[in-house]
Structure 1
Amino acid sequence: MDFVAGAIGGVCGVAVGYPLDTVKVRIQTEPKYTGIWHCIRDIYRQERVRGFYRGLSLPVCTVSLVSSVSFGSYHHCLEHICCFRYGSAEAKPAKADVTLSGCASGLVRVFLTSPTEVAKVRLQTQTQVQERQEGQPSASGPSVSSPVCPVPGPKYRGPLHCLTTVAREEGLQGLYKGSSALLLREGHSFATYFLSYAVLCEWLTPAGHSQPDVLGVLVAGGCAGVLAWAVATPMDVIKSRLQADGQGHRRYRGLLHCVVTSVREEGLRVLFRGLAVNCCRAFPVNMAVFVTYEAVLRLTRGLLT
């Protein structure tokens, strides 16, 4: 049941948070943006509402599987740890058990999410890449006799076309570009995610009850999401830059080179680009994820008893 509840919760989370995810990726990969509202205005002015939903179809199709695996692997790992340490899957886990299970859940996600993350980032950023590649007029101005060249269309026509193009041009490794940063991001962020949710649920559970009420779940889920993204943002910046780097001129040779180059050119604060929008997005998204997840679990348990 954890797999089903996680799948439904994940879809609800994507529906709530995708526009701000696009804003986050643009801020992380394009230095021209000075803040969230600058980025939002620029996207809306150039691409209107659909600009916020570039690359949405693939995450919607895959998020149910990814979220299902995340929550399912977390609970199965936790059950096995409890069986091994305490002799029963129903035993109350320690904080270290929750942390280890959350970390394992995050690492499992990487193998499923890396290709979809590559496609999402490429689609979210290809408009600004296309603008750079078109170039600027020469200093002498356009020649009257120069032939009119058609403006090239976008390189990627959609998520599936993006995946096949990346695989054809860059090989299978292109689909896992940035996976080292993704591994570092997901491991400790999901450990923080599940641990903070468990701790907050304990604090928010009324006396005499075994679980928090709906408001408690909403608060715990939203805060857990914010904390997880707070620790994930530095590696998220590097991941986005590595994945967007396959378009046009390639700048980064790998994770460490990307970190050093980014910090040298833009300062240490570059590792926290998009932190505000990540946190703003994380609260409502994870409120939706956890309240849906808990509701589906309670419903299915009620039907089975």
Structure 2
Amino acid sequence: MSFPLASIAVYSSVVFGVFSNTQRLLSQLRHGDPACEPTLADVTLASMVAGFISVGIGTPVDLVKIRLQMQTQPYIEGNVKLKPTVPEFPLYRGPIHCFRTVLQKEGIAGIYRGVGAMLLRDVPGYCLYFIPYTFFCGWITPEGCISPSPSSIWLAGGIAGAISWGTATPMDVVKSRLQADGVYLNKYKGTLDCILQSYQNEGLKVFFRGITVNTVRGFPMSSAMFLGYELSLKAMKRGQTETNP
């Protein structure tokens, strides 16, 4: 847990920062005012940019997390055709050792294993994250209110998170399989090969494993994320106003 916990603040800051600043830039270019209400096209494009940028940080973080988690699972010989030598002790001693080992043995390509699947997960995933949030936030907020209430932000953020994580599950399964691959043997040649092998061996249902957990987890996680983001922005804006009346 240490590596994801240490990196989540940076990761979330980058995602929300890129999304917010891209929206402001598009509003400035289209309307000459960065504070202008963004259009659906602006929100969509900003979401896609945020998803694309997030992959650069998120792929190594997820790789280390999955490698550390999967090495604690028992090795099942029936799941693979080859019979590699499996060490009796954990291959990685911790997140830093895992990152360094993968980088030394596999290079940058190893650190970014599964990046294609992650792009297919995060680019549309963030569109289905920020667009529903913007829609539900506006729908829940009563007319005449300048900004949504904390309860509206919490509810809209939770719904958006549940939608995003639920729909992202198929590519999340593929991404996780690719990143877990390569410790004892290389089973998949790439994203498409992973999809085909998974479908041929386990059927369509394999891509929806964990969808309930992802959807349920997405609600409180995203509620807290959006609420913290919006309240932080309000606090900083209030501080700027008081400093520069």
User: Is 2:107 aligned against 1:168?
Assistant: no
Q: Deviation of residue 244 (structure 1)?
A: 0.1
**Local SS of the residue matching 1:208:** coil
| Aligned match for 1:156, one of 84, 87, 92 | 92
Query: CA contact under 8 A between 1:79 and 1:89: conserved in structure 2?
Result: yes
Point out where structure 1 has 5 or more consecutive residues left out of the alignment. Answer: 1-55, 134-150
User: Is 2:16 aligned against 1:71?
Assistant: yes
Aligned equivalents of 1:274 and 1:292: distance in 2?
27
1:104 maps to what in 2?
49
Q: Deviation of residue 207 (structure 1)?
A: 2.5
Q: Deviation of residue 132 (structure 1)?
A: 3.4
> How many residues align structurally?
232
Q: Given residue 77 of structure 1, which amino acid in structure 2 is its aligned partner?
A: T
TM-score (norm 1): 0.74
| Aligned match for 1:180, one of 113, 116, 122 | 116
Q: Given residue 304 of structure 1, which amino acid in structure 2 is its aligned partner?
A: Q
| Aligned match for 1:264, one of 190, 194, 200 | 200
Q: Deviation of residue 249 (structure 1)?
A: 2.3
Superposed, which structure 2 residues align to 1:117-266 within 5 Å? 117-128=62-73, 130-132=74-76, 152-266=88-202
Map Cα deviations across residues 191-224 of structure 1 (whole Å, 9 max, x no partner).
1111110001001112220222111111101001
Aligned equivalents of 1:60 and 1:172: distance in 2?
23
| Ranges of 4+ aligned residues in structure 1 off by more than 6 Å | none
Q: Deviation of residue 113 (structure 1)?
A: 1.4
Task: State the percentage of identical aligned residues.
Answer: 41
1:281 maps to what in 2?
217
1:295 maps to what in 2?
231
Point out where structure 2 has 5 or more consecutive residues left out of the alignment. Answer: 78-86
2:83 maps to what in 1?
none
Q: Deviation of residue 231 (structure 1)?
A: 2.0
**Local SS of the residue matching 1:92:** coil
Aligned equivalents of 1:131 and 1:181: distance in 2?
25
Q: Deviation of residue 152 (structure 1)?
A: 2.0
Aligned equivalents of 2:206 and 2:107: distance in 1?
30
User: Is 2:89 aligned against 1:113?
Assistant: no
Query: CA contact under 8 A between 1:237 and 1:273: conserved in structure 2?
Result: yes
Query: CA contact under 8 A between 1:201 and 1:211: conserved in structure 2?
Result: no
Aligned equivalents of 1:304 and 1:92: distance in 2?
21
TM-score (norm 2): 0.91
Aligned equivalents of 1:182 and 1:270: distance in 2?
17
2:80 maps to what in 1?
none
Tell me: higher relative CO, structure 1 or 2? Use CA pairs within 8 A at least 6 residues apart.
1
